[in-house]
Amino acid sequence: MFAVCQKRKNGDFAWEADGVDEGMRLETEELISQGPAGSAPIGPLKKAPKTVWEPIPRNAAKTSAHVRTPQNQAFKRHMMTASDWKPAAYVTTISRASGALLGQCVGDALGCRYQYRSGADVRRQIDADRENHSGFLPIRGSTVFDFPPGQVGDGTELCMLVARSISREGGVSIPDVLSSLIKWKRSNPVDMDATVLNALELGSEDENLNFTADELEQNVIKNAFRQNMTSLSNVCLTVATPLAIAGVNSTDQSCTEIAARIVKLTQPHPGAVDAVRVLTTAIRSLLICPDPQMAYKRAFECAKTHLIREHMLQSRSRPHPQPEDETTLSDEELPIEYLGIALQSAFYYLLHARTFAEGVIGCIELGGDTTTNAAITGALLGARFGLMEIPGEWRATVQSAKLERHTRFPDVFLGDADQLVERLLTKVTL
């Protein structure tokens, strides 16, 4: 049976199900008892609350999937603080885990239409894309990138192949993950990230047939260190969700160690490794108990690099590392696919968004790499709010899509995502 962590009227949390792993219960109750105000190793931020554990000011700007406003106002804005959070009654771990995986897929599929555009342009397009009668924003796909509605990009495909490998093997098998990666490479992905491609370039058309399992891993790692040591591409973040789901009944340490090992296969930069460790920790925390402040605290304390800690600190007050969106030209312009943008915006909307749709659309409104940024935000918000808080039309679009891509590489089919999540929660040991 899965645990349900509920917030009572007096502010306390209680476990509302039997069969809760004792270690998990004690670990979570210890974090809850500490509270956000107690043990923060964090200082104040400029233009932020006096301490980072104080309630966040009501200055968040976000949108809803069903909001329609006059044309002279692009969107109606909603405001909340992290202290306003109240979990839905009896949202189970399996609902939150399904929400995390499908939330990532939905964010990716919704964001692909607005990829690599400025925030202002995206907001105009979103307003035009809303249905006239209801104001709902459907997943429309992208003719520019040849994405039919419901198709996801390379990052979420990477997430799915890692999830299926873990499910198939009953745990993380690096040889199986690498074998899946090489098959994926040969399947002609729609837009394969150069970072992953570089690591898998082994000098032969039959790469995995010419090496033992250990030799294959070592050769891929050597490639990654040689070609990707400076890479801070956001593609690495996409593997956090299946690791967090599979690690619910494990420990943070076990999950983060495995996450680090997988990330080092393609992106050995300490910042990339740290970012995935932090994201995995946050998603796992939300699956155990969907308190965004506790997930933030746990993730921050897990961070080992100044780079990632700084993005976590900034995420409490703003969604983007730069003043405007990532297409704004400046002397210090960040790369569009920089992982710090995806990570910071995801944690910002985790702390501020009142609904799943509000946060994901708000993230897309920033412009830039709207597929990966919205995918990571969707994973965190799906874990927080649960599956049923993701608009049904969005879920149906990604799960019912039958695409030519699915025939060529079935691992990326999303129709059985619910069953996949259940296997990751019940049949896997990390």
3-class SS of residue 339? helix
Taking alpha carbons only, the member of 53, 91, 92 closest to residue 294 is: 53
Rg for the chain, CA atoms, rounded: 20
- 418 assigned binding-site residue: no
Token pair in block for residue 351: 């702390």
Q: What is the DSSP letter of 6?
A: E
Distance CA 218, CA 202 (A): 11
- 372 assigned binding-site residue: yes
Q: For 14, phi and psi rounded to 5 degrees? A: -145, 150
Token pair in block for residue 60: 């968040």
Token pair in block for residue 317: 């007050």
Token pair in block for residue 206: 């039959």
Taking alpha carbons only, the member of 228, 233, 308 closest to residue 268 is: 228
Token pair in block for residue 165: 């490998």
Distance from chain centroid for Cα 417: 16
- 154 assigned binding-site residue: yes
Residue type at position 22 = E
Distance CA 267, CA 231 (A): 6
Burial (CB < 10 A; 0-12, 13-18, 19+), residue 240, is buried
Taking alpha carbons only, the member of 271, 364, 272, 270 closest to residue 326 is: 364
Distance CA 131, CA 14 (A): 42
β-pair partners for 167: none
Say what angle helices 292-302 and 252-263 make with each other, to 10 degrees: 60
Annotated binding site for Mg(2+): 154, 369, 372
Annotated binding site: 154, 369, 372
